[in-house]
Chain A
């Protein structure tokens, strides 16, 4: 097997006396959809926030494409090609759909002050716009380009969040509970988009508490419970794993 794209090693996060993530290690291979699951309170969001640079880990290491990224601020992690989305529909609600995605192209086409004032950045602006339109088309949002992001229906808002995240052609995206609040049809469409994204070469790490939702989607799964690694394997292996069944059905009040 090739070297993993994302590698989490002995990752630990303490909030005061509470150890939310406890010496967690797992790898994500390039070109796969990897699920990080576990009952509510298992530490998934905390792990996610550490990988994306939102939290600074108490201990342990994270490497991306062989390079250490733990402790880097979020925009530096993004610039290395690892971009996250947010758990709820976090968008620039006051901006148009196309402007939302243009923000996403920021890394590809960083603005330059003097060139912008003198109007010497036409080529870069056009290229950014083309890329933004391409990203919108990919997620089937092209016809909504001029709408206000805050006025889109929920499913489209989630797709827009992914369009923003992928606009700068990241190598990997992190998705936090992307199916929450979606109906069956929206869920099915979102899964299709994820498969399409994977086919375009993007590695996907999904954090999800509803195990059934992502069984059919993931190539491999890491299960967490009480901050620790509980099990790892293919969806079929995870489904049969007695420890996983126990964690979901017995151990916690939030059985899925």
Chain B
């Protein structure tokens, strides 16, 4: 079979599987599937940020900025929820842009601490200002996604299955956008900034500009994931986007690995399944942050390149077992 059609077939099979998936799950599992879909976007956006080599500890808060912004915009203006989610994403990107001026004066460890501090300041503002953020109790009765009648199907987005489909489309589009960016010359510049920022700069690349750009783009996608969450669960508060949530993001990313596009997705999927089947089944749910921390340490010690390295290894073996002619004949020079 030609390669191209094999790929098409693979993607088609995946799409069908994702559409049918809720049918195989219980109601509470369907709810978890919605969160998982949103978290796939969240952790993928985090990877986009790390492409330039800087790891932020403010990503969960940036997600929250999108959630708060979208919730407040619908409350104030009654804007159509999917559009307000876009406003949420843009707000998160804008806040990230402003923050990037002080933050990208720092690098490495200092950037890490700076991003954490910036996030905590935002969380303090949410807590401090009853109006409009609702203080420590946060926002309640957030406008839900309005029902939608498409003729062939009436979507009541209160049901997790329907919201899952909506989130799936939104997240699918976002992943496609991130993929396109990474595979473009811009993505190459991100990698260049990561691996050798001095050489990148000597090649005319505005290193700080690209770091800011990755941060702003990633924050926009994180903001959208926050908005998707807010309009589903209907209530958010400063605690929803705290250190615990940041630990989850880091654990998904590190356990999955960040050198491939699919690594973090693998991480969040595997850990969510583990969490739901193993932890919840055994009644350890309360200890989730603790166990996540433990998994994080284990994976750093025993699988430092993440779950993705297992996939890469398997694919390499498969290629050796079934060799294909090289797609491009290498030109040999004398």
**Chain A interfacial positions (CB closer than 8 Å to B):** 52, 54, 73-75, 78-79, 83-86, 90-95, 99, 102-104, 106-107, 109, 111, 113, 116-117, 119, 121, 124-125, 128, 140, 142-143, 146, 164-165, 167-168
User: A75 contacts B204, CB within 8 Å?
Assistant: yes
Alpha-carbon distance between A106 and B191 when the two chains are bound, in angstroms = 13
Give CA–CA (A167, B184) in the complex, Å. 18
Apart from A83-B204, A103-B205, 14 more pairs, CB < 8 Å: A54-B198, A75-B207, A86-B199, A86-B202, A93-B195, A95-B191, A99-B191, A103-B189, A111-B188, A113-B181, A116-B184, A121-B185, A128-B185, A146-B330
Instruction: Enumerate chain B residues within 8 angstroms of A116, measured Cβ to Cβ.
Output: 180-181, 184-186
Question: Is the pair B203, A107 in contact by a Cβ cutoff of 8 Å?
Answer: yes
Q: Point out the residues of chain A lying under 8 angstroms from B202, CB to CB.
A: 52, 74-75, 78, 83-86, 165
B196 within 8 A of A: yes
Residue of A nearest to B180 (CB): A117
Cβ of A124: which chain B residues have Cβ within 8 Å of it? 185
How many Å from the CB of B194 to the closest CB on chain A?
9
User: Lowest 5 CB-CB distances: which A-B pairs, in order?
Assistant: A116-B184, A107-B204, A111-B185, A111-B186, A78-B204
Within 178-235 of B, Cβ neighbours of A (below 8 Å) are at 180-181, 184-186, 188-189, 191-192, 195-196, 198-207, 213
The chain B residues found within 8 Å of chain A, CB to CB, are 177, 180-181, 184-186, 188-189, 191-192, 195-196, 198-207, 213, 330-333
Which residues of chain A are near B185, meaning CB under 8 Å? 102, 106, 109, 111, 116, 121, 124-125, 128
Q: Across the two chains, which residue of chain B brings its CB closest to A74?
A: B201
The contact of A83 among B189, B192, B203, by CB within 8 Å, is B203
- Residues from chain B with a CB closer than 8 A to the CB of A52 are 202
- Cα of A103 to Cα of B201 in the assembled complex, Å: 10
Contacts of A75 in B (CB 8 A): 201-207
A140 to B181, CA, bound (A): 31
User: Contact between A99 and B333 (Cβ–Cβ < 8 Å)?
Assistant: no
Residue from B198, B206, B333 in contact with A142 in the complex, judged by beta carbons closer than 8 Å: B333
Residues in B with CB closer than 8 Å to A78 are 201-204
Q: Determine how close the nearest CB of chain B comes to the CB of A127; give it in whole angstroms.
A: 11
| Residue in B closest to A125 when the chains form the complex, CB atoms | B185
> Do B189 and A106 have beta carbons less than 8 Å apart?
yes
Residues in A whose Cβ lies below 8 Å from that of B184: 111, 116-117, 121
Nearest residue (CB) in A for B326 is: A146
In the assembled complex, which residues on chain B have CB atoms less than 8 Å from the CB atom of A84? 202
Chain A residues with CB under 8 A of B180:
116-117, 119
Whose C-beta in chain B lies nearest to the C-beta of A164? B203
* CA distance in complex: A168, B205 (Å): 12
Interface centre among A52, A106, A142 (most CB of B within 10 A): A106
Q: Name the CB-closest residue of A to B178.
A: A117
Residue on B nearest A84 in the bound complex, by CB: B202
The winner among A84, A111, A143 for most chain B CB atoms within 10 A is A111
Known contacts A111-B184, A117-B181; A92 and B192 CB within 8 A of each other:
yes
Report Cα–Cα, A125/B191, bound state, in Å. Answer: 17
Whether the pair A99, B188 counts as a contact (CB closer than 8 A) is: yes
* A103 near B192: Cβ-Cβ < 8 Å: yes
Minimum CB–CB distance from B224 to chain A (whole Å) comes to 16
Would you give the shortest CB distance from B80 to chain A, in whole angstroms? 24
Chain A residue with the shortest CB-CB distance to B217: A113
With A86-B198, A116-B181 as known contacts, state yes or no: A143 contacts B204, CB within 8 Å.
no
Shortest CB–CB separation between residue A14 and chain B, in angstroms?
23
B199/A140 in contact, CB under 8 A: no
Tell me the smallest distance from the CB of B308 to a CB of chain A, in Å.
15
Question: Is B196 within 8 A of A104, CB to CB?
Answer: no
Given contacts A78-B204, A106-B205, contact A92 B195 (CB under 8 A): yes
Contact A92 B189 (CB under 8 A): no
Other-chain contact of A92, B191, B207, B332 (Cβ < 8 Å)? B191
For residue A102, which residues in chain B have a CB less than 8 angstroms away from its CB?
Answer: 185, 188
Is there contact, CB below 8 Å, between B204 and A79?
yes
Minimum Cβ distance to chain B for residue A104 (Å):
5
19 contacts across the A-B interface (CB closer than 8 A): A54-B198, A75-B207, A78-B202, A84-B202, A90-B196, A90-B199, A99-B188, A99-B191, A103-B189, A103-B192, A103-B199, A111-B188, A113-B181, A113-B186, A117-B180, A117-B184, A121-B184, A146-B330, A165-B202
- By the criterion CB–CB under 8 Å, are A91 and B186 in contact? no
Complex Cα gap A92–B205 (Å):
14
Q: Which residues of A contact B200 (CB under 8 A)?
A: 103
Chain B residues lying within 8 Å of A83, measured Cβ to Cβ, are 202-204
The smallest beta-carbon distance between B99 and chain A, in angstroms, is 20
Bound form: Cα–Cα A128–B202 in Å: 18
Chain B residues with CB under 8 A of A168: 203-204
